[in-house]
Each structure stands twice: as structure tokens, then as C-alpha cells.
């Protein structure tokens, strides 16, 4: 009995250092975990991104089958709206490249060595939708795919101007939206598209002159709308077509086009000036303009200056 007790004491003594070592490992692992969470959290909130996760954002999607889509994420209403665009829709290509079927826009962009903003600007120019960002099929998976597809889309090589953190935010947001908050609309089922014979004699879809009210509401930014902003557009492009498109897009966003001034041609791109940070940031992002957070001229809330270089890329 004495020997067995002695052995038991020795066994307990031999186990004490192991417990201490095991406890140290736990603290080390916990410390590393906390450090990683801190670093990821810092990166998440500090690095530049396109979406803050709380404001409305619209995405132009270039689909691999030649068609297109526009996704609108609206955290204020906890909704995700997807507008499908048929590939045989006649669109007005950006960069002054004429009218084409939507299915030809991707190849046209490659042939002209243009990046994804060419597709985004084509959607804005053709539909007058205020679009923030662009991407491909992988962005559709972020909002509509299963969890595996959502995660796979994060490491997709599909070109987009959204950062990795933006896509993480979109996944987290899409998971929080119930099925009742998700709406899918094919534009061919709306009054915005009309079935017609296209210039190449094939049947396709032609875009209407104005956006139906039912579709406008998806793009209206309530923050900008509530400010009741008056906008002046100073047109130094030498043309009026781009100005009309810009004006319609801005009004769809929720601001008021109070005046359009025709100026002598200027070899410049575009600037957006005003004291309303949400409006200047939003409009500047959509049109890819330089932003100036200062009072505009002639007591207008927002001043948009468009030059020849803007016309050339839009």
C-alpha cells in the first residue's frame, strides 16, 4: 500500500509540469487568435473600399453568356434587387463606339483594350441607371449562390473594381437578407424594353426613352433625395447627348437638375463640387469624376463640370 501511495504521489508530481505547459499553450493560442482578429478587424475598417455596408449600392454585371444584370443592395430596406438584361438588347456603347447588342460589348471592350468601367459606362449611358461598381458572374454568386459558391467567388479571378473586403461585406449582407427581401426582375418583362427588329435584321430589344417609375425607386438614394439638392451641369463637351444621360441618372438618384449651362469646349474630364459629402461622393463615384468638397458657383448645391475628355470615355 505504501509503495502504491508513493507511486501515486510521484505520478501526480510528474503531471503538474505538463498541466502548466498545456495552460501556457492555451494562452499562446488565445493570444495569437486575438491578434489575428485585431489585425483583420483593423484591415476591415481602415483599408480603402467601395462600400461601407450601410448605404445603397448598385453593381453592373457582365455575364459570361453575353447578357447583363444590375444588382441593387439596399440596407435601409434589407433588400437585394437583381435586374436581368437580355443579351440581344441594343445598347449605346461607351467611349463613342456606337450601337451594339449587349452580347458584343464584352468582346468590343477587349478589342479596344478597355477595362470593366467600359461595361459600367455602357449600362449607365444606355439605361440611365446610376451605377457604382462593375464585375462579372462571381458578383452574382455573392448575392444568390449557396455558401460554397459565395466563398468560392471571393477568390475568383473574375475582374471587378470591388475589393476583397467589399465582397466580404456583400456576402455578410446577402446572408442577412431573407428570401422575401430578394427580388428578381427581367427587364424584358417590363415596359422599359420593347421587342423590335434590330439594325442587323434580327429580333431583339430596344430600350425606352425614360425609366419606368417602378424601376426608378430601386436606385433612388433617400439620403440625397431628403437633402433636396439643386444641381447645375456645366457642359463643355461640345455635345448635349452625354449631358442628357448624366442629368437623367442624377435625377434617378434623387437630386434635382436645376440648370444646364453650355460653355465653350474644354479639354478636361469632369469634376463634381459641393458641400454635401454623400452626394458629391456618390455622383463622383458613378461618373468617375474628381470630387471637390466645397461650395459650387451660383449658389447651386452641386456643380458638375463636364469636358471633352469625359465625352470621349463616356
First to last CA, the chain: 94
User: Do residues 129 and 174 lie in contact, with contact meaning Cβ atoms separated by under 8 Å?
Assistant: no
Tens-digit pLDDT profile for residues 178-227: 999 999 999 999 999 999 999 999 999 999 988 999 999 999 999 999 99
| Domain-wise residue ranges, the chain | 57-207, 221-313
> What is the pLDDT, as a whole number, of residue 27?
63
Taking the model in full, what pTM does it have? Answer: 0.84
Round to whole Å and give the CA distance between 309 and 314: 8
> What is the pLDDT, as a whole number, of residue 51?
86
**pLDDT band for position 32 (50/70/90)?**
low
Q: Per DSSP, what are the bridge partners of residue 61?
A: 69, 135
Give the chain's mean pLDDT.
Answer: 88
How far is the CA of 272 from the CAs of 182, 200, 291, 293, 303, in angstroms? 33, 39, 5, 8, 6
- Rg of the chain, C-alpha, whole Å: 27
> What is the pLDDT, as a whole number, of residue 36?
52
Q: Per DSSP, what are the bridge partners of residue 196?
A: 204
Round to whole Å and give the CA distance between 37 and 295: 41
CB atoms near residue 227 (< 10 Å): 17
Round to whole Å and give the CA distance between 109 and 170: 27
221-313: which CATH topology?
Answer: Alpha-Beta Plaits (3.30.70)
Round to whole Å and give the CA distance between 310 and 236: 10
57-207: which CATH topology?
Answer: Nucleotidyltransferase; domain 5 (3.30.420)
Tens-digit pLDDT profile for residues 248-296: 999 999 999 999 999 999 999 999 999 999 999 999 999 999 999 998 7
| 175 three-state secondary structure | helix
Tens-digit pLDDT profile for residues 124-158: 999 999 999 999 999 999 998 788 888 888 888 88
Amino acid at each position: 500500500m505504501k509503495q502504491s501511495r508513493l507511486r501515486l504521489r510521484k505520478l501526480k508530481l510528474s503531471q503538474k509540469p505538463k498541466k502548466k505547459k498545456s495552460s501556457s499553450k492555451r494562452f499562446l493560442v488565445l493570444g495569437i487568435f486575438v491578434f489575428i482578429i485585431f489585425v483583420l478587424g483593423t484591415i476591415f475598417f481602415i483599408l480603402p473600399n467601395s462600400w461601407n455596408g450601410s448605404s445603397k449600392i448598385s453593381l453592373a454585371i457582365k455575364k459570361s453568356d453575353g447578357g447583363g444584370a444590375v444588382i441593387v443592395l439596399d440596407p435601409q430596406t434589407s433588400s437585394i434587387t437583381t435586374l436581368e438584361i437580355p443579351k440581344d438588347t441594343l445598347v449605346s456603347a461607351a467611349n463613342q463606339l456606337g450601337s451594339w447588342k449587349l452580347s458584343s460589348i464584352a468582346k468590343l471592350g477587349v478589342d479596344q483594350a478597355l477595362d470593366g468601367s467600359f461595361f459600367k459606362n455602357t449600362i449607365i449611358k444606355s439605361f440611365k441607371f446610376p451605377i457604382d461598381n462593375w464585375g462579372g458572374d462571381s458578383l452574382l454568386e455573392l448575392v444568390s449562390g449557396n455558401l460554397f459558391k459565395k466563398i468560392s467567388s471571393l477568390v475568383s479571378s473574375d475582374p471587378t473594381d470591388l475589393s476583397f473586403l467589399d465582397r466580404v461585406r456583400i456576402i455578410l449582407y446577402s446572408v442577412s437578407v431573407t428570401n422575401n427581401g430578394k427580388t428578381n426582375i427581367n427587364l424584358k418583362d417590363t415596359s422599359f424594353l420593347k421587342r423590335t427588329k434590330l439594325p442587323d435584321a434580327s429580333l431583339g430589344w430596344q430600350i425606352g426613352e425614360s425609366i419606368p417609375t417602378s424601376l426608378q425607386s430601386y436606385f433612388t438614394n433617400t439620403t440625397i433625395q431628403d437633402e433636396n439638392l439643386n444641381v447645375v451641369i456645366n457642359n463643355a463637351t461640345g455635345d448635349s447627348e452625354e449631358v442628357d444621360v448624366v442629368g437623367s441618372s442624377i435625377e434617378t438618384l434623387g437630386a434635382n437638375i436645376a440648370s444646364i449651362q453650355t460653355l465653350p469646349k474644354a479639354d478636361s474630364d469632369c469634376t463634381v463640387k459641393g458641400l454635401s459629402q454623400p452626394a458629391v461622393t456618390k455622383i463622383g463615384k458613378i461618373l468617375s469624376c474628381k470630387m471637390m468638397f466645397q461650395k459650387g458657383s451660383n449658389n447651386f448645391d452641386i456643380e458638375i463640370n463636364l469636358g471633352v475628355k469625359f465625352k470621349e470615355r463616356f
